[in-house]
Protein backbone atom coordinates (compact mmCIF):
# COMPACT_ATOMS: atom_id res chain seq x y z
CA UNK A 1 0.00 0.00 0.00
CA UNK A 2 2.84 2.39 0.84
CA UNK A 3 4.52 1.74 -2.49
CA UNK A 4 1.25 2.44 -4.32
CA UNK A 5 0.99 5.85 -2.67
CA UNK A 6 4.62 6.98 -2.51
CA UNK A 7 6.23 4.81 -5.14
CA UNK A 8 8.84 2.09 -4.64
CA UNK A 9 12.19 3.40 -3.44
CA UNK A 10 15.08 1.17 -4.50
CA UNK A 11 18.04 0.69 -2.19
CA UNK A 12 21.64 0.50 -3.26
CA UNK A 13 21.91 -2.29 -5.71
CA UNK A 14 24.48 -5.01 -5.30
CA UNK A 15 25.52 -4.04 -1.75
CA UNK A 16 26.47 -7.13 0.30
CA UNK A 17 24.15 -8.15 3.12
CA UNK A 18 26.53 -7.58 6.05
CA UNK A 19 27.73 -4.07 5.04
CA UNK A 20 24.12 -3.02 4.35
CA UNK A 21 23.01 -4.48 7.68
CA UNK A 22 25.79 -2.68 9.57
CA UNK A 23 25.05 0.62 7.82
CA UNK A 24 21.32 0.54 8.56
CA UNK A 25 21.12 -1.10 12.01
CA UNK A 26 20.57 0.90 15.20
CA UNK A 27 23.99 0.36 16.78
CA UNK A 28 23.06 2.15 20.02
CA UNK A 29 20.14 -0.17 20.69
CA UNK A 30 22.21 -3.24 19.89
CA UNK A 31 24.99 -2.00 22.19
CA UNK A 32 22.52 -1.47 25.04
CA UNK A 33 21.27 -5.05 24.66
CA UNK A 34 24.82 -6.40 24.80
CA UNK A 35 25.53 -4.37 27.94
CA UNK A 36 22.35 -5.65 29.58
CA UNK A 37 23.38 -9.22 28.82
CA UNK A 38 26.82 -8.55 30.35
CA UNK A 39 25.17 -7.12 33.47
CA UNK A 40 22.96 -10.21 33.64
CA UNK A 41 26.00 -12.49 33.65
CA UNK A 42 27.65 -10.32 36.32
CA UNK A 43 24.58 -10.50 38.55
CA UNK A 44 24.22 -14.22 37.82
CA UNK A 45 27.69 -14.77 39.25
CA UNK A 46 26.46 -13.17 42.48
CA UNK A 47 22.91 -14.55 42.72
CA UNK A 48 22.97 -18.12 41.40
CA UNK A 49 25.67 -19.98 43.47
CA UNK A 50 23.44 -20.25 46.59
CA UNK A 51 20.63 -21.81 44.53
CA UNK A 52 23.09 -24.14 42.77
CA UNK A 53 24.42 -25.24 46.15
CA UNK A 54 20.92 -25.97 47.46
CA UNK A 55 20.11 -28.03 44.35
CA UNK A 56 23.39 -29.97 44.42
CA UNK A 57 24.95 -28.39 41.30
CA UNK A 58 28.32 -26.78 40.69
CA UNK A 59 28.48 -23.19 41.99
CA UNK A 60 28.29 -21.64 38.51
CA UNK A 61 25.85 -24.14 36.99
CA UNK A 62 23.15 -21.54 36.36
CA UNK A 63 25.64 -18.94 35.13
CA UNK A 64 26.98 -21.36 32.54
CA UNK A 65 23.46 -22.16 31.38
CA UNK A 66 22.62 -18.47 31.24
CA UNK A 67 25.73 -17.84 29.12
CA UNK A 68 24.71 -20.66 26.76
CA UNK A 69 21.13 -19.44 26.42
CA UNK A 70 22.40 -15.88 26.08
CA UNK A 71 24.67 -16.77 23.18
CA UNK A 72 21.76 -18.51 21.45
CA UNK A 73 19.61 -15.43 22.11
CA UNK A 74 22.21 -13.06 20.65
CA UNK A 75 22.62 -15.26 17.57
CA UNK A 76 18.84 -15.28 17.12
CA UNK A 77 18.77 -11.50 17.56
CA UNK A 78 21.50 -10.88 14.97
CA UNK A 79 20.02 -13.27 12.40
CA UNK A 80 16.52 -11.85 12.82
CA UNK A 81 17.77 -8.27 12.57
CA UNK A 82 19.25 -9.05 9.14
CA UNK A 83 15.87 -10.09 7.72
CA UNK A 84 13.54 -7.93 5.71
CA UNK A 85 10.24 -6.89 7.35
CA UNK A 86 8.38 -9.21 4.98
CA UNK A 87 10.48 -12.22 5.99
CA UNK A 88 10.15 -11.29 9.67
CA UNK A 89 6.38 -11.19 9.27
CA UNK A 90 6.24 -14.59 7.57
CA UNK A 91 8.40 -16.28 10.17
CA UNK A 92 6.53 -14.51 12.98
CA UNK A 93 3.23 -15.94 11.70
CA UNK A 94 4.68 -19.47 11.73
CA UNK A 95 6.19 -18.96 15.20
CA UNK A 96 2.93 -17.53 16.49
CA UNK A 97 0.91 -20.50 15.22
CA UNK A 98 3.33 -22.98 16.83
CA UNK A 99 3.32 -21.08 20.15
CA UNK A 100 -0.46 -20.72 20.10
CA UNK A 101 -0.93 -24.47 19.65
CA UNK A 102 1.59 -25.11 22.43
CA UNK A 103 -0.35 -22.76 24.70
CA UNK A 104 -3.61 -24.54 23.94
CA UNK A 105 -2.21 -27.93 25.00
CA UNK A 106 -0.31 -26.57 27.99
CA UNK A 107 -3.01 -27.53 30.57
CA UNK A 108 -2.77 -31.14 29.35
CA UNK A 109 0.96 -31.67 28.88
CA UNK A 110 2.47 -28.79 30.90
CA UNK A 111 3.90 -28.65 34.40
CA UNK A 112 4.03 -26.06 37.17
CA UNK A 113 7.35 -27.11 38.79
CA UNK A 114 5.65 -26.70 42.16
CA UNK A 115 4.91 -22.99 41.64
CA UNK A 116 1.14 -23.30 41.36
CA UNK A 117 0.85 -22.15 37.73
CA UNK A 118 1.11 -24.46 34.70
CA UNK A 119 3.30 -22.39 32.39
CA UNK A 120 6.04 -24.74 31.16
CA UNK A 121 6.73 -27.84 29.11
CA UNK A 122 9.39 -30.00 30.73
CA UNK A 123 11.88 -31.46 28.23
CA UNK A 124 14.05 -33.14 30.84
CA UNK A 125 17.22 -31.20 30.06
CA UNK A 126 15.37 -27.88 29.90
CA UNK A 127 11.91 -26.32 30.06
CA UNK A 128 10.01 -24.17 27.56
CA UNK A 129 7.51 -21.43 28.36
CA UNK A 130 5.29 -20.96 25.27
CA UNK A 131 3.95 -17.56 26.34
CA UNK A 132 7.42 -16.02 26.02
CA UNK A 133 7.62 -16.99 22.33
CA UNK A 134 3.98 -16.14 21.75
CA UNK A 135 4.35 -12.45 22.63
CA UNK A 136 6.59 -11.25 19.76
CA UNK A 137 4.70 -13.39 17.26
CA UNK A 138 1.37 -12.02 18.43
CA UNK A 139 2.57 -8.42 18.16
CA UNK A 140 3.64 -8.91 14.54
CA UNK A 141 0.46 -10.79 13.57
CA UNK A 142 -1.78 -8.21 15.28
CA UNK A 143 0.11 -5.34 13.62
CA UNK A 144 -0.32 -7.04 10.24
CA UNK A 145 -4.07 -7.45 10.77
CA UNK A 146 -4.57 -3.88 12.01
CA UNK A 147 -2.52 -2.44 9.13
CA UNK A 148 -4.49 -4.54 6.62
CA UNK A 149 -7.76 -3.14 7.96
CA UNK A 150 -6.71 0.35 6.77
CA UNK A 151 -6.44 -0.74 3.16
CA UNK A 152 -9.29 -0.24 0.74
CA UNK A 153 -11.62 -3.25 0.94
CA UNK A 154 -9.29 -4.66 3.59
CA UNK A 155 -10.34 -7.33 6.08
CA UNK A 156 -11.77 -6.47 9.53
CA UNK A 157 -8.28 -6.79 10.96
CA UNK A 158 -8.95 -4.79 14.12
CA UNK A 159 -11.77 -7.10 15.14
CA UNK A 160 -9.75 -10.21 14.29
CA UNK A 161 -6.72 -8.98 16.22
CA UNK A 162 -8.91 -8.17 19.24
CA UNK A 163 -10.50 -11.63 19.15
CA UNK A 164 -7.05 -13.20 18.95
CA UNK A 165 -5.86 -11.06 21.87
CA UNK A 166 -8.84 -12.06 24.02
CA UNK A 167 -8.29 -15.76 23.27
CA UNK A 168 -4.65 -15.51 24.36
CA UNK A 169 -5.49 -13.49 27.47
CA UNK A 170 -8.13 -16.05 28.47
CA UNK A 171 -5.67 -18.96 28.14
CA UNK A 172 -3.01 -17.09 30.12
CA UNK A 173 -5.46 -16.24 32.90
CA UNK A 174 -6.42 -19.92 33.17
CA UNK A 175 -2.78 -20.94 33.90
CA UNK A 176 -2.89 -18.53 35.88
CA UNK A 177 -0.42 -15.98 34.47
CA UNK A 178 -1.98 -12.56 34.96
CA UNK A 179 1.28 -10.73 34.32
CA UNK A 180 1.75 -12.07 30.80
CA UNK A 181 -1.96 -11.60 30.12
CA UNK A 182 -1.72 -7.91 31.04
CA UNK A 183 1.40 -7.56 28.91
CA UNK A 184 -0.28 -9.06 25.82
CA UNK A 185 -3.34 -6.84 26.34
CA UNK A 186 -1.12 -3.79 26.77
CA UNK A 187 0.82 -4.55 23.58
CA UNK A 188 -2.38 -4.83 21.57
CA UNK A 189 -3.78 -1.65 23.15
CA UNK A 190 -0.67 0.36 22.24
CA UNK A 191 -0.82 -0.74 18.60
CA UNK A 192 -4.55 -0.08 18.45
CA UNK A 193 -3.98 3.40 19.88
CA UNK A 194 -1.19 4.21 17.41
CA UNK A 195 -3.43 3.02 14.55
CA UNK A 196 -5.99 5.67 15.50
CA UNK A 197 -8.37 4.11 18.03
CA UNK A 198 -11.00 6.46 19.53
CA UNK A 199 -10.34 7.47 23.12
CA UNK A 200 -13.82 6.39 24.20
CA UNK A 201 -13.03 2.82 23.18
CA UNK A 202 -9.70 2.86 25.03
CA UNK A 203 -11.38 4.18 28.19
CA UNK A 204 -13.96 1.42 27.89
CA UNK A 205 -11.18 -1.16 27.57
CA UNK A 206 -9.51 0.21 30.70
CA UNK A 207 -12.80 -0.16 32.55
CA UNK A 208 -13.13 -3.73 31.31
CA UNK A 209 -9.63 -4.50 32.60
CA UNK A 210 -10.56 -3.14 36.04
CA UNK A 211 -13.75 -5.23 36.04
CA UNK A 212 -11.74 -8.29 35.01
CA UNK A 213 -9.33 -7.65 37.87
CA UNK A 214 -12.22 -7.52 40.34
CA UNK A 215 -13.59 -10.81 39.03
CA UNK A 216 -10.15 -12.41 39.22
CA UNK A 217 -9.74 -11.20 42.80
CA UNK A 218 -13.09 -12.78 43.74
CA UNK A 219 -12.51 -16.11 41.99
CA UNK A 220 -8.75 -16.75 42.10
CA UNK A 221 -6.96 -17.41 45.39
CA UNK A 222 -3.61 -17.06 43.59
CA UNK A 223 -4.52 -13.56 42.37
CA UNK A 224 -6.14 -12.51 45.64
CA UNK A 225 -3.07 -13.49 47.72
CA UNK A 226 -0.81 -11.34 45.58
CA UNK A 227 -3.13 -8.34 45.69
CA UNK A 228 -3.59 -8.66 49.46
CA UNK A 229 0.16 -8.88 49.94
CA UNK A 230 0.65 -5.77 47.83
CA UNK A 231 -2.01 -3.73 49.64
CA UNK A 232 -0.89 -4.79 53.11
CA UNK A 233 1.08 -1.85 54.61
CA UNK A 234 3.13 -4.24 56.74
CA UNK A 235 5.58 -6.28 54.68
CA UNK A 236 6.28 -9.73 56.07
CA UNK A 237 10.11 -9.84 56.25
CA UNK A 238 10.08 -13.59 55.55
CA UNK A 239 8.40 -13.23 52.13
CA UNK A 240 10.13 -12.62 48.81
CA UNK A 241 8.93 -9.02 48.76
CA UNK A 242 10.17 -8.57 52.32
CA UNK A 243 13.64 -9.88 51.48
CA UNK A 244 13.81 -7.79 48.29
CA UNK A 245 12.68 -4.59 50.01
CA UNK A 246 15.25 -5.04 52.77
CA UNK A 247 18.02 -5.75 50.24
CA UNK A 248 17.28 -2.58 48.30
CA UNK A 249 17.26 -0.58 51.54
CA UNK A 250 20.58 -2.08 52.67
CA UNK A 251 22.26 -1.41 49.32
CA UNK A 252 21.92 2.34 49.49
CA UNK A 253 23.71 4.40 46.83
CA UNK A 254 26.88 2.35 46.26
CA UNK A 255 25.92 -1.11 47.60
CA UNK A 256 27.42 -3.29 50.29
CA UNK A 257 30.13 -4.65 47.97
CA UNK A 258 30.58 -7.40 45.42
CA UNK A 259 29.70 -10.79 46.93
CA UNK A 260 28.74 -9.25 50.29
CA UNK A 261 24.97 -9.34 49.80
CA UNK A 262 22.70 -11.63 51.82
CA UNK A 263 19.42 -11.57 49.88
CA UNK A 264 20.64 -14.22 47.41
CA UNK A 265 20.74 -16.74 50.27
CA UNK A 266 17.11 -16.10 51.19
CA UNK A 267 15.29 -15.48 47.90
CA UNK A 268 14.48 -18.61 45.86
CA UNK A 269 14.02 -16.42 42.74
CA UNK A 270 17.02 -14.16 43.30
CA UNK A 271 18.44 -15.07 39.89
CA UNK A 272 15.17 -14.53 38.00
CA UNK A 273 12.24 -12.38 39.15
CA UNK A 274 14.14 -10.48 41.88
CA UNK A 275 17.56 -10.10 40.33
CA UNK A 276 17.28 -6.31 40.52
CA UNK A 277 17.25 -6.69 44.33
CA UNK A 278 20.64 -8.42 44.13
CA UNK A 279 21.92 -5.58 41.94
CA UNK A 280 20.62 -2.95 44.37
CA UNK A 281 22.10 -4.67 47.44
CA UNK A 282 25.59 -5.41 46.12
CA UNK A 283 26.10 -2.56 43.64
CA UNK A 284 23.69 0.05 44.94
CA UNK A 285 21.36 2.52 43.29
CA UNK A 286 24.06 3.41 40.76
CA UNK A 287 23.80 0.11 38.89
CA UNK A 288 20.00 0.16 39.08
CA UNK A 289 19.96 3.59 37.44
CA UNK A 290 22.32 2.32 34.73
CA UNK A 291 19.97 -0.59 34.01
CA UNK A 292 16.96 1.75 33.86
CA UNK A 293 18.85 4.08 31.50
CA UNK A 294 19.72 1.19 29.17
CA UNK A 295 16.08 0.08 28.90
CA UNK A 296 14.98 3.68 28.40
CA UNK A 297 17.54 4.14 25.64
CA UNK A 298 16.33 1.05 23.78
CA UNK A 299 12.66 2.07 23.92
CA UNK A 300 13.12 5.78 23.17
CA UNK A 301 15.55 5.28 20.28
CA UNK A 302 13.31 2.62 18.73
CA UNK A 303 10.23 4.83 18.94
CA UNK A 304 12.10 7.81 17.49
CA UNK A 305 13.26 5.78 14.50
CA UNK A 306 9.75 4.37 14.01
CA UNK A 307 8.29 7.88 13.90
CA UNK A 308 9.96 8.35 10.49
CA UNK A 309 8.58 5.07 9.14
CA UNK A 310 5.78 5.39 6.56
CA UNK A 311 4.82 1.71 6.39
CA UNK A 312 1.97 1.24 8.87
CA UNK A 313 2.72 -2.43 9.53
CA UNK A 314 6.36 -1.71 10.41
CA UNK A 315 5.38 1.25 12.57
CA UNK A 316 2.75 -0.69 14.51
CA UNK A 317 4.80 -3.86 14.97
CA UNK A 318 7.91 -1.95 16.05
CA UNK A 319 5.93 0.19 18.49
CA UNK A 320 4.27 -2.85 20.03
CA UNK A 321 7.58 -4.69 20.46
CA UNK A 322 9.38 -1.67 21.92
CA UNK A 323 6.63 -0.79 24.39
CA UNK A 324 6.12 -4.39 25.48
CA UNK A 325 9.88 -4.75 26.05
CA UNK A 326 10.02 -1.59 28.16
CA UNK A 327 6.88 -2.34 30.18
CA UNK A 328 8.10 -5.86 31.02
CA UNK A 329 11.28 -4.36 32.47
CA UNK A 330 9.25 -1.74 34.34
CA UNK A 331 6.93 -4.40 35.82
CA UNK A 332 9.85 -6.55 37.00
CA UNK A 333 11.58 -3.65 38.75
CA UNK A 334 8.28 -2.23 40.02
CA UNK A 335 7.47 -5.51 41.78
CA UNK A 336 10.85 -5.51 43.56
CA UNK A 337 10.21 -2.07 45.08
CA UNK A 338 6.51 -2.79 45.82
CA UNK A 339 5.15 -0.36 43.25
CA UNK A 340 3.26 -3.27 41.66
CA UNK A 341 1.87 -6.62 42.86
CA UNK A 342 4.06 -9.70 42.34
CA UNK A 343 3.84 -10.85 38.72
CA UNK A 344 6.48 -13.56 38.21
CA UNK A 345 8.02 -11.75 35.24
CA UNK A 346 11.69 -11.77 34.24
CA UNK A 347 13.92 -8.77 33.56
CA UNK A 348 14.77 -8.97 29.82
CA UNK A 349 18.36 -10.09 29.11
CA UNK A 350 19.30 -9.81 32.80
CA UNK A 351 17.28 -12.51 34.56
CA UNK A 352 18.10 -16.20 34.22
CA UNK A 353 15.78 -18.19 31.96
CA UNK A 354 16.25 -19.94 28.64
CA UNK A 355 12.79 -19.18 27.21
CA UNK A 356 12.95 -15.56 28.34
CA UNK A 357 16.44 -14.99 26.90
CA UNK A 358 15.88 -16.65 23.53
CA UNK A 359 12.40 -15.19 23.04
CA UNK A 360 13.77 -11.80 24.07
CA UNK A 361 16.55 -12.15 21.51
CA UNK A 362 14.02 -12.91 18.78
CA UNK A 363 11.80 -9.98 19.84
CA UNK A 364 14.66 -7.46 19.88
CA UNK A 365 15.94 -8.88 16.59
CA UNK A 366 12.51 -8.15 15.09
CA UNK A 367 12.63 -4.65 16.59
CA UNK A 368 16.09 -4.03 15.10
CA UNK A 369 14.86 -5.28 11.72
CA UNK A 370 11.89 -2.91 11.82
CA UNK A 371 13.97 0.10 12.93
CA UNK A 372 16.71 -0.26 10.32
CA UNK A 373 17.25 2.88 8.24
CA UNK A 374 15.23 2.69 5.02
CA UNK A 375 14.66 5.16 2.19
CA UNK A 376 11.31 6.86 2.75
CA UNK A 377 11.19 8.68 -0.58
CA UNK A 378 12.14 11.99 1.05
CA UNK A 379 14.35 14.70 -0.45
CA UNK A 380 17.23 13.83 1.88
CA UNK A 381 17.21 10.22 0.65
CA UNK A 382 17.39 11.39 -2.96
CA UNK A 383 20.27 13.79 -2.28
CA UNK A 384 22.20 11.03 -0.51
CA UNK A 385 21.77 8.77 -3.53
CA UNK A 386 19.39 6.40 -1.73
CA UNK A 387 16.36 7.28 -3.77
Tens of pLDDT, residues 343-367 = 778 899 999 988 999 999 999 999 9
pLDDT of residue 366: 97
Is 20 domain-assigned? no
3-state helix, strand, coil in the chain (%, to 5): 70, 0, 30
Question: How many whole angstroms separate alpha carbon 90 and alpha carbon 205?
Answer: 30
76-127 tens-digit pLDDT: 999 999 999 999 999 999 999 999 999 999 988 988 877 777 888 988 878 8
CB 371 within 8 A of CB 306: yes
CA-to-CA separations, 185 to 89, 92, 161, 271, in angstroms, rounded: 20, 18, 11, 27
User: First vs last Cα of the chain: how many Å apart?
Assistant: 18
Is 378 domain-assigned? no
Question: How many whole angstroms separate alpha carbon 237 and alpha carbon 228?
Answer: 15
CB 136 within 8 A of CB 362: yes
pLDDT of residue 14: 64
Place 7 in a pLDDT band, splitting at 50, 70 and 90: very low
Is 385 domain-assigned? no
Residue 31 has pLDDT above 90, yes or no: yes
Per the structure, the count of domains in the chain is: 1
Is 154 domain-assigned? yes
Is 43 domain-assigned? yes
The parent domain of residue 68 ranges over 25-373
Question: How many whole angstroms separate alpha carbon 24 and alpha carbon 32?
Answer: 17
Is 83 domain-assigned? yes
170-206 tens-digit pLDDT: 999 888 888 899 899 999 999 999 998 777 777 887 8
Q: How many C-beta neighbours within 10 Å does residue 376 have? A: 16
Is 226 domain-assigned? yes
CB 279 within 8 A of CB 291: yes
Is 71 domain-assigned? yes
pLDDT of residue 236: 66
Amino acid sequence: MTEMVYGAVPERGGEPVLPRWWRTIDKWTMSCVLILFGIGLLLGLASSPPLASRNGFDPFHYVERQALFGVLALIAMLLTSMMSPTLVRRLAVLGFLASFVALVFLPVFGTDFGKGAVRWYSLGFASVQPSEFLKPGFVVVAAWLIAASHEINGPPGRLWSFALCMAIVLMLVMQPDFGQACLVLFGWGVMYFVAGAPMVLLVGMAGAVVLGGMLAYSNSDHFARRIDGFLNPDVDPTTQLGYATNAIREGGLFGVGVGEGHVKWSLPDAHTDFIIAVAAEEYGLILVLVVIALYTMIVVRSLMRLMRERDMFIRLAGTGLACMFGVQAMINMGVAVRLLPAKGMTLPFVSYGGSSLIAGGIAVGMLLAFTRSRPQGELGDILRGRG
